[in-house]
Amino acid sequence: MLSQDPLLVSSRPQPNPSRPAETLPRPAMTAKSRAMAVVRVASGNFLEMYDFMVFGYYAAGIGRAFFPAQSEYASLMLSFMTFGTGYLMRPLGAIILGAYIDQHGRRKGLLLTFGMMAFGTLAIGCMPGYESIGMLAPILVVFSRLIQGLSAGVELGGASVYLAEIATPGRRGFYTAWQSGSQQVAVMFAAVLGLILSRVLRPEEMAGWGWRVPLLLGSLMIPFVVMMRRSLQETDEFLARKHHPGVREILSTVASNWRLVILGMMLSTMTTVTFYVITAYMPTYGTSVLKLSTTTSMLVTLIVGFSNFITVPSGGAASDRFGRRRMLATFSIAALLTAYPALLWLVRAPSFGRLVIVAVWFSIIFGGYNGSMVALLTEIMPAKIRASGFSLAFSLAAGLFGGFTPAVSTYLIHVTGNRAMPGLWLSFAALLGLIATALVSTSDQTSTASAFGVPSTNRATEQVASS
């Protein structure tokens, strides 16, 4: 007979006839039920990242369809700027939808954010081009991206907080890593689809209508993911709270913890920039900058996705054992010292082999850092604004830095003529991550384990800031 988890037993609410049936005590989660909860949460994360990756992969085709311009550079930049525009809405989504999740529950919030993301995916996939409806086409595409950005602003934070709250003691890093792990499956799936399309369709067909195929395929997944998400249960930790703050109280608490939000943003910048360098930007960098074939670039992206799928959970598990800050500092320094030299070595003699080596190295850095960072970010936020605080910090990083990585990289290469410039952008992000890691370690001290209402059970227990 399976033993009950002490965390869940201690946090389970007591019966109360006046409370809705949903909040009454439930049996403790088994290993199988936890695994299924991870899959249900990850399914929505998968589709969100798949859609964002498809937009990045096919930026050139989308640019020609919706943003015709006199030069390929201008069209590509307009497409990448639209890609980044979605990120500008993330902080707003983090505040509005994050407050909704902290007040009404993780499950309801995850259902709402997925519905908004699905709308944007379907709208862009079916949108007529500029030649058919004129200026209305780019306006509607930007609007759809804004809706997606609003949703994405809290999807990652909501999913991460859910996984952190169902994690077993001493394994929070490993559990939260699967939020990003599901995104790597999306990267691989999008890359495989890109490889198939590049072989089946001619370049002019891909530019004309082929880029719509991945978006429409994503739309077909929507009913399945809705079914998965609807079967989620609310976390016991959320149900155990006697007080669920209103929006005004949540916003006030977020504002009073502005220092934690800024530190969280700096920590997240390293994650977002690295991720978009090796995923969303890599295919365009390989074809447009290094002049390698589309098949080569997509194959490298597929390899990166597989590498990330291994390194991120491994990084989360390692942070459970060796500590979050030690892992963050190690991989920040690695990125700071090697990002630009690695790309400089690549651009001197571009080849499939060199691109794989550099991309996998960046993947190792990303996995080790991100696997540690997500868990730490759930731990430093006060419990009553855990979703709002996490989402706002991460969304600011994505909106100000990560989401514009393709556009910034394209611009830096254009104005300098130096094809290794994205390495300096990545080094800058690593510097922010290193500074934030140092500042978190000297913050007002409290046990991260106590933030989840359980005693410390592993070496990963950190002393971090709290309200």
Residue 27 counted as domain residue: no
Residue 273's nearest CA partner among 161, 413, 423 is 423
CA distances from 418 to 158, 249, 360, 409, 452 (A): 39, 49, 22, 10, 48
Instruction: Report the pLDDT value the prediction gives residue 250, as an integer from 0 to 100.
Output: 82
Q: How many domains does the chain have?
A: 1
Axis crossing angle, helix 386-400 with helix 247-256, rounded to the nearest 10: 60
| 135 phi and psi angles, rounded to 5 deg | -65, -20
Residue 376 counted as domain residue: yes
CA dihedral defined by 192, 229, 239, 29, rounded to 10 degrees? Answer: -70
Tell me how many degrees the CA angle 441-443-448 measures, rounded to the nearest 5.
70
| 447 phi and psi angles, rounded to 5 deg | -80, 130
| 261 phi and psi angles, rounded to 5 deg | -65, -45
Domain harbouring 116, CATH code: 1.20.1250.20
How many CA within 13 A on the CB side of residue 458? Answer: 18
Residue 278's nearest CA partner among 425, 60, 431 is 425
How many whole angstroms separate alpha carbon 6 and alpha carbon 9?
Answer: 5
Instruction: Report the pLDDT value the prediction gives residue 108, as an integer from 0 to 100.
Output: 84
Residue 22 counted as domain residue: no
Domain of residue 143, residue span: 35-229+243-464
Instruction: Report the pLDDT value the prediction gives residue 6, as an integer from 0 to 100.
Output: 41
Residue 407 counted as domain residue: yes
| 40 phi and psi angles, rounded to 5 deg | -65, -40
In this structure, the number of other CB atoms found within 10 A of the CB of residue 439 comes to 15
Residue 7 counted as domain residue: no
Residue 127 counted as domain residue: yes
The model carries a pTM of: 0.78
* pLDDT tens digits in sequence order for the chain, 467 residues long: 444 444 344 444 444 443 444 444 556 677 778 888 888 888 878 887 787 777 766 766 777 777 776 666 766 677 767 766 777 788 888 888 888 888 888 888 888 888 888 888 788 888 888 778 888 888 888 888 888 888 888 888 888 888 988 888 888 999 999 888 888 888 788 878 888 887 888 877 877 788 888 888 888 888 888 888 888 887 788 878 777 777 788 888 888 999 999 999 999 999 999 998 998 788 889 988 999 988 888 889 889 989 999 999 999 999 999 999 999 999 999 999 999 999 999 999 999 999 999 999 999 999 999 999 999 999 999 888 888 899 899 989 988 898 788 889 999 999 999 999 999 999 999 999 999 999 985 443 344 444 555 443 344 333 333 33
Residue 134 counted as domain residue: yes
Instruction: Report the pLDDT value the prediction gives residue 462, as an integer from 0 to 100.
Output: 39
Residue 448 counted as domain residue: yes
